[in-house]
């Protein structure tokens, strides 16, 4: 079986293990409302209304991505970048998430 068939077509997501994925995100905290903002520097750009104070933006990011991909919050966790705008999320899912939900058409 060719492993190439099991990787997403998006630069921002990659398979990390038999039941997991890694997602690169670029976060803009303190926005007027939480929303998707397309792709930026090989990452999914996400605007969050939560401020970058007391881990509020990180918690909001996990909840936003989980909700957008139709996953439970416990399936999404911060792998790196806790204090940076560029972050890597670990997604615990055997099935490949629908990455198109993170980059809507028209952006």
Q: Considering only the C-alpha atoms of the chain, give the largest distance between any 2 of them, rounded to a whole number of Å.
A: 46
Look at residue 26 in the predicted model and tell me its pLDDT: 97
pLDDT band, very low/low/confident/very high, at 6 (cuts 50, 70, 90): very low
Per domain, the residue ranges of the chain are 17-85
**Which secondary structure element, helix H or strand E, spans residue 34, and what is its range?**
none
Mapping DSSP to helix (H, G, I), strand (E, B) and coil, where does residue 24 land? strand
Look at residue 106 in the predicted model and tell me its pLDDT: 58
Closest alpha carbon to 104 in 35, 51, 58, 4: 35
Q: Cβ of 62: how many Cβ atoms within 10 Å? A: 19
d(CA 107, CA 39): 8
* Confidence check: pLDDT of 1 > 50: no
Provide the token pair at 65.
């991505």
Q: At the topology level of CATH, where does 17-85 sit? A: Conserved Hypothetical Protein Mth637; Chain: A; (3.30.1200)
Quote the mean pLDDT of the chain: 88
Pairing between β-strand 20-28 and β-strand 13-17 as defined by DSSP bridges:
antiparallel
Of the chain, the end-to-end C-alpha distance in Å amounts to 34
Look at residue 9 in the predicted model and tell me its pLDDT: 59
Q: What is the pLDDT of residues 16-49, one digit of tens each?
A: 877 799 999 999 999 999 999 999 999 999 999 9
């Amino acid at each position: 079986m060719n492993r190439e068939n099991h990787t997403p077509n998006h630069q921002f997501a990659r398979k990390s293990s038999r039941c997991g994925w890694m997602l690169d995100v670029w976060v803009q905290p303190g926005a007027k409302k939480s929303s998707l903002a397309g792709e930026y520097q090989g990452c999914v750009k996400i605007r969050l209304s939560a401020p970058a104070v007391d881990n509020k933006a990180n918690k909001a990011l996990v909840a936003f991505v989980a909700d957008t991909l139709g996953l439970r919050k416990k399936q999404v966790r911060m792998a790196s970048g806790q204090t940076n705008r560029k972050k890597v999320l670990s997604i615990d899912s055997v099935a490949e998430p629908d990455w198109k939900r993170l980059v809507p058409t028209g952006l």
